[in-house]
Amino acid sequence: MYIQVDNANTFIATGGKPFAAHLPTVVLLHGSGTDHRCWALQARWFAFHGYSVFAPDFPAHSLSEGEALTSIELMAAWLVRALDTTKVDKVHLVGHSQGFLVALEAAGLLGDRLKSVTALATASAIPVNPALVEMAQSNPKVAAEMMLQWGFGSPHQYGASSVPGMQPIGIGTRIMANNPLAIDLIACNAYEKGAEKARQLANIGCPSCVILAAQDRMTPKKEGFKLALDLNTAAQVIADSGHMLPMEAPKESLNLMKKFIQSLET
Amino acid sequence: MSKSSYLGADTIALHSGYQPESDHGSRAVPIYQTTSYVFDSVDEASALFNVEQGGHIYSRITNPTVAVLEQRLAALEGGAGAICTASGMSALFVSFFSLCSAGDHIVSAAQIYGSTVTLLKHSLKRFNIDCTFVDINDQQALGAAIQDNTKLVFCESIGNPGLAVSNLPAIAKTAHAQGIPLVVDATFATPYLNNPIEHGADVVVHSVTKWIGGHGVAVGGVVIDGGNFDWLKSGRFPTLTQPYEPFHGMNFWEEFGPAALAMRIRCESMRDIGAAMTPHNAFLLLQGLETLNLRMQQHVSNAQAMVTWLQTQDAVAWVNHPDINAEAHTKALFPKGAGSMLTFGVKGGRDAGAAFINALQLSSNLANVGDSRTLVLHPGSTTHSRLSEHDLIAAGIGADLIRVSVGIETLKDIQADFSLGLRAAAKILAQQAEA
Ligand SMILES: Cc1ncc(COP(=O)(O)O)c(C=O)c1O
């Protein structure tokens, strides 16, 4: 669906079913330079199993218009404004990589509207190599390729695909090369409040779930374990997947996501 | 253009899409000779049917062996995804079918494979899809032929059988300027010689039957979704950008973006038309693909040597190969050589041509190209026989034209065989002179 946020036409993927604010809502937040399509399969499952799905393209990403947001704080505030346009009350926040930094920051703004947080292939801080940022500024296509060479785990480097016949590296590079990757990376790099926000969530007893990828070279899993410690939860690790976890292991990641979220809804 | 793999082309051809499976460690890609796949549970079945999970349901739609070939070809061409089909013709059909509906229009190169001409000119016409044929390298003519209802521009990267090389970057520019995608049949080029997506193509089709297989034992086709075309911005593609009721109201562009066309073909054409590649054929074609790059080197070097050799033969009237007096765009698009097809005419016209073919012993007179063995044919009386005199000329085919798909045999043996043919042709010419 398209909604207006800050007067900009904004795309929210709803998993193939109309958004219904009264249903338990799962918010799926994409990572740097990507878009809602990294959740294509997971979004459909939630939408067809009694949930409403709210998977935005952040401003200036893929199908959304507007100006790219330059910090995690601005993205979190934007997310809350976007959610408010739908009259949705309580939400489960799920974030991949940068998307989880946004979730951590948005958690404080949402207060008791937040039901849980789920982290995929991420950490509480995401330092980015300055050379990559520079490349993303000067040649986004090459930067996207560099990132995905690191981003995808070994099966995908050898052409694996969870959807038969597809080339996720090809799909990912095309999406990333046309999105404001450099701005996203700078925002990730600058965000230093992740660990503190995670500990605050643990202190108020917010349910959390951490799903890591064994072959993650962008946010190495030892950083993910630290995040889990801060959130006071146990991390679960998916084998044979790299950083692009939602695309690389949609079934395995969905199984853990849905088990956690379902446990809170029944 | 964006990559789909970080491996080199030789490695992709051998490894992409398959790593030894955990059950038995089979090094070769296994043949999954099965129609269907057991679901773990009712929940899993419904997740598969509703595209909440990737996987296999029924081999008309997907099959694990076929998927390896699809993923390998998509990686080789640098695409977002691929769909293999029963033949090259069905790959072309599902491409046109997925982008066009009744009332729509296609602009096509005039010099293309005969069956593709009949598909565009007659078969699709029955469904009210029209086609205008143009000289594809005349950008003014191409631009002028695009109408409000045009949905795609089509050409072959190397035309069959005229062997004209399409100036892909110029054609893509003309098409894109009007919001139209470029569909390229790259059969004669193979992924080894040229990758059309790098040069602006949006969809690439191959008859996998030909060089990719190389052994001449299996018919197959592939459509590769280039993933770069913005179907929404173009505003001409409701099949990709509006909800598709017969598949859960799926909006392919919103849900799959760069793979929208591939997913539409999967969900509609493979379901409703069902021109699926068999797993056994996929296995056979994979065996060919693994050595494509090595074979192509010999195909091209033999072809170039045959061109030079034929040009010195008395009985030969003319020789055509895109590398002869190559145009600038041919050199730019085909730095490794513009393929292993050549055409030539023997002095003495049609009868001398027939005598040439009848005298050959090594080369095979048959209706195929791209076999590892040398193949010869007289298109005017076979593949293109249904074309009118006018269409024959438009397609670049003279009555004396002999088409050669140069194989990878030892060069001197091909030359010795052709010497037999040329001697027979010379005899006819002498008889004609006496009469
Ligand atoms: C350029 C070209 N495209 C498509 C085809 C059709 O392929 P198939 O015979 O696999 O259907 C051919 C067959 O000769 C061809 O030469």
Contact A166 B80 (CB under 8 A): yes
Q: Point out the ligand 1 atom lying closest to the alpha carbon of residue B209.
A: 10
Tokens of A209: 């779930």
**Over the stretch A107-130, which tens digit does the pLDDT of each residue have?**
999 999 999 999 999 999 999 999
Q: State percent of chain A over pLDDT 90.
A: 100
When scoring B71, B233, B267 by the number of chain A Cβ atoms within 10 A, the one with the most, hence best to mutate, is B71
Beginning with the edge strand found earlier in the chain, give each strand of the sheet holding B375-377 in spatial order: B316-320, B341-346, B401-405, B375-377, B364-365
Instruction: Give me the pLDDT at residue B22, please.
Output: 80
The full set of domains in chain B, from first to last, is 9-288 (3.40.640.10), 293-434 (3.90.1150.10)
B185 belongs to the catalytic site: yes
Q: Which of B16, B66, B232 shows the shortest C-beta gap to A159?
A: B16
Q: Is the CB of B87 under 6 A from ligand 1?
A: yes
Instruction: Give me the pLDDT at residue B389, please.
Output: 66
Give distance in angstroms: CA of B89 to centre of ligand 1: 6
Contacts of A157 in chain B (CB under 8 A): 5-7
Q: How far apart are CA A206 and CA A200, in angstroms?
A: 9
**Over the stretch A169-217, which tens digit does the pLDDT of each residue have?**
999 999 999 999 999 999 999 999 999 999 999 999 999 999 999 999 9
What does DSSP assign to residue B312? T
**Domain layout of chain A by residue ranges:** 2-265
Instruction: Give me the pLDDT at residue B3, please.
Output: 80
Taking the complete model, does pTM exceed 0.90, yes or no?
A: yes
| CATH number among 3.40.50.620, 3.40.50.1820, 3.10.28.10, 1.10.3470.10, domain A2-265 | 3.40.50.1820
Q: Which of A159, A174, A251 shows the shortest C-beta gap to B17?
A: A159
Contacts of B71 in chain A (CB under 8 A): 159-161, 164-167
Q: Is the CB of B221 under 6 A from ligand 1?
A: yes
- Backbone φ/ψ region at A15: left (φ over 0), alpha (ψ -120 to 50), beta: left
Contact A165 B67 (CB under 8 A): yes
Identify the closest residue of chain B to A159 by CA–CA distance: B17
**Over the stretch B117-165, which tens digit does the pLDDT of each residue have?**
999 999 999 999 999 999 999 999 999 999 999 999 999 999 988 899 9
Q: For all residues of chain B together, what is the average pLDDT? A: 95
Q: How far apart are CA B32 and CA B224, in angstroms?
A: 22
The string over B102-133, giving b where at least 16 C-beta atoms fall within 10 Å of a residue's C-beta and e elsewhere, is: eebbbbbbbbbbbbbbebbeeebeeeebbbbb
Q: State percent of chain A over pLDDT 70.
A: 100
Q: CB B273: neighbour CB atoms within 10 A? A: 16
Instruction: Give me the pLDDT at residue B354, please.
Output: 87
Q: Which of A48, A165, A169 shows the shortest C-beta gap to B4?
A: A169
Q: Which of B18, B51, B257 shows the shortest C-beta gap to A175?
A: B257
Find the length of chain B. 435
Instruction: Give me the pLDDT at residue B435, please.
Output: 87
**Over the stretch B323-335, which tens digit does the pLDDT of each residue have?**
999 999 999 999 9
Q: How far B19 CA sits from the closest chain A CA (Å)?
A: 7
The candidate with the shortest Cα–Cα distance to A86, out of A16, A44, A23, is A23
Asked whether the bond before A56 is cis by omega within 30 degrees of 0, the reply is no
Q: CB A235: neighbour CB atoms within 10 A? A: 17
Q: Point out the ligand 1 atom lying closest to the alpha carbon of residue B208.
A: 10
DSSP A212-250: EETT-SSS-HHHHHHHHHHHTS-EEEETT--S-HHHHSH
Residue A222, judged by CB atoms within 10 A of its CB (0-12, 13-18, 19+), counts as exposed
Q: Point out the ligand 1 atom lying closest to the alpha carbon of residue B367.
A: 14
Amino acid type, B275: A
Give distance in angstroms: CA of A163 to centre of ligand 1: 28
Interface of A with B (CB under 8 A): 11, 13, 16, 35, 37, 40-42, 44-45, 48, 62-63, 141, 144-145, 149, 155, 157-167, 169-171, 173-175, 177, 250-251, 254
Contacts of A155 in chain B (CB under 8 A): 19
Q: For chain A, which ranges sit under pLDDT 50?
A: none
Contacts of B258 in chain A (CB under 8 A): 170-171, 174-175
Q: How far B101 CA sits from the closest chain A CA (Å)?
A: 24
What does DSSP assign to residue A41? H
Distance of CA A239 to the CA centre of its chain: 19
Which mutation among B136, B155, B163, B187 tests ligand 1's pocket best, with the greatest number of atoms within 8 A of CB?
B187
Q: For all residues of chain A together, what is the average pLDDT? A: 97
Contacts of A173 in chain B (CB under 8 A): 2-4
What does DSSP assign to residue B191? H
Instruction: Give me the pLDDT at residue B210, please.
Output: 98
Give distance in angstroms: CA of B368 to centre of ligand 1: 8
Give distance in angstroms: CA of B83 to centre of ligand 1: 16
Contact B19 A157 (CB under 8 A): no
Q: How far apart are CA B131 and CA A40, in angstroms?
A: 36
Tokens of A93: 């926040």
**Over the stretch B270-323, which tens digit does the pLDDT of each residue have?**
999 999 999 999 999 999 999 999 999 999 999 999 999 999 999 999 999 999
Q: Point out the ligand 1 atom lying closest to the alpha carbon of residue B89.
A: 11
Give distance in angstroms: CA of B118 to centre of ligand 1: 13
Task: Report residue B23: phi and psi, to 5°.
Answer: -65, -55
Q: How far apart are CA B288 and CA A158, in angstroms?
A: 19
Which mutation among B93, B115, B193, B205 tests ligand 1's pocket best, with the greatest number of atoms within 8 A of CB?
B115
Q: How far apart are CA B116 and CA B90, in angstroms?
A: 10
Q: How far B62 CA sits from the closest chain A CA (Å)?
A: 7
Find the length of chain A. 266
